[in-house]
């Protein structure tokens, strides 16, 4: 028996174990950043018997993956047929699916291959019975693990309590050193009082951000910036023009490296309607930028009074940001608290260790 086990172990060590990371987008955002971080950290640690492959819709993500030297398999659409094609091509040992649609399609397609469902967002529909929660709930029986970026993800999932033995909260991979390194130590560039960083979507609530800036600029002169792009871009532009804020709000669009701009901002404003984790908040804290945000998703686990504030109304946002911009002593304390809180949240080594254990428990030999 020992001899046979050694042969099996030897076989797996000379054959690379394949893990497919499957996403239902072709652009770069929060979940995509997490997957790229996982793959890069595995490569940096020289875990040679594991091959991690990025699988997603064709799109602008290709350029980022080529730059990062990550193996990429594009798909035409997120469908059972396309996922089965990729499975046949790579014969994976694990399928690591990200967010709901990819998880459901992979569960239907994978047959006996272990599937990890990694949820990065707690959409509002999670709280009620609907076609989406029923579809995801039915496939939960298939998953080996259900990973969440914050407690709120599974607490808000209406069927979450039935699958608590599979659920594991992993947070997001955070390397404060890497975030700070990407600023290149540059002190050049335009300075801003208030920043928005995120997709221009209903979730991130950019229209309320514009209203907050408008209310603050009625009380004091401010300069604001919006970093990000998305389906609300045209509506955002119209709102800025409607309020006459063209000279006050600089709409930067998507930036591959937003940190160079973010480090020149005094306050990050996050009026999100919902969040899974809230990575932008950690990125700001790592650069010494206090964060004022709504109390949703993972944000209460990131922000406290030492480094910013959680707000329950537009008026609270306006009041807190106004205080930070006008009270230099309060602002200095929040900067110090932001840097300290970022160090507390730094978890990259523990995160990768946890991910290795997840893969081991799915049958991969590392």
Backbone angles phi, psi at 337, to 5 degrees: -65, -35
**Any residues with CB less than 8 A from the CB of 293 and at least 6 apart, and which?**
268, 269, 270, 271, 272, 278, 281, 299, 303, 308, 309, 310, 311
Residues in the chain where the model's pLDDT stays below 70: 1-15, 184-188
Q: Which pair of structure tokens corresponds to residue 298?
A: 């993972």
For the entire predicted model, the pTM comes to: 0.88
**Placement of tokens 């119209």 in the chain:** 238
Whole-number Cα distances in Å, 42 to 16, 38, 137, 310: 13, 6, 31, 35
Residue 59 corresponds to which tokens in the numbers above? 């799109």
Task: Retrieve residue 306's tokens.
Answer: 């030492």
- Per-residue pLDDT tens digits for 266-314: 999 999 999 989 999 999 999 999 999 999 999 999 999 999 999 999 9
Q: Report how far residue 263's alpha carbon sits from residue 253's, in angstroms, rounded to the nearest whole number.
A: 17
| Model pLDDT for residues 14-47, shown as the tens digit of each residue | 568 999 999 999 998 889 999 999 999 999 988 8
Residue 316's H or E segment, with its range, is: helix 314-326
* 144 CA to centre of own chain: 22
């Amino acid at each position: 028996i020992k001899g046979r086990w050694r042969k099996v172990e030897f076989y797996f060590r000379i054959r690379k174990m394949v893990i497919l990371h499957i996403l239902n987008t072709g652009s770069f955002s929060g979940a995509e950043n997490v997957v790229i971080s996982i793959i890069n950290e595995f490569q940096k640690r020289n875990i040679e018997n594991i091959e991690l492959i990025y699988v997603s819709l064709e799109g602008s993500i290709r350029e980022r993956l080529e730059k990062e030297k990550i193996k990429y398999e594009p798909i035409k659409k997120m469908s059972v047929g396309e996922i089965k094609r990729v499975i046949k091509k790579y014969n994976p040992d694990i399928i690591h699916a990200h967010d709901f649609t990819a998880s459901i399609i992979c569960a239907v397609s994978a047959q006996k291959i272990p599937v990890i469902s990694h949820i990065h967002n707690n959409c509002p529909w999670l709280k009620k019975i609907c076609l989406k929660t029923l579809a995801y709930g039915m496939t939960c029986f298939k998953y080996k693990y259900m990973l969440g970026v914050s407690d709120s993800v599974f607490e808000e999932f209406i069927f979450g309590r039935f699958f608590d033995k599979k659920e594991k909260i992993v947070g997001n991979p955070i390397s404060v050193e890497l975030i700070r390194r990407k600023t290149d130590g540059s002190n050049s560039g335009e300075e801003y009082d208030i920043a928005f960083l995120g997709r221009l979507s209903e979730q991130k609530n950019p229209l309320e951000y514009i209203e907050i800036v408008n209310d603050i600029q009625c009380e004091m002169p401010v300069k604001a910036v919006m970093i990000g792009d998305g389906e609300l871009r045209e509506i955002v532009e119209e709102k800025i023009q409607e309020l006459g804020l063209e000279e006050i709000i600089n709409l930067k669009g998507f930036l591959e490296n937003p940190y160079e701009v973010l480090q020149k901002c005094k306050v990050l404003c996050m009026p999100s309607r919902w969040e899974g984790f809230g990575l932008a908040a950690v990125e700001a804290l790592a650069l010494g930028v206090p964060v004022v945000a709504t109390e949703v998703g993972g944000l209460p686990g990131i922000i406290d009074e030492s480094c910013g504030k959680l707000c329950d109304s537009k008026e609270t946002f306006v009041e807190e940001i106004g205080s930070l911009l006008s009270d230099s002593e309060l602002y200095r304390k929040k900067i110090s608290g932001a840097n300290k809180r970022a160090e507390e949240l730094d978890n990259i080594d523990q995160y990768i260790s946890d991910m290795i254990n997840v893969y081991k428990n799915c049958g991969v030999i590392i």
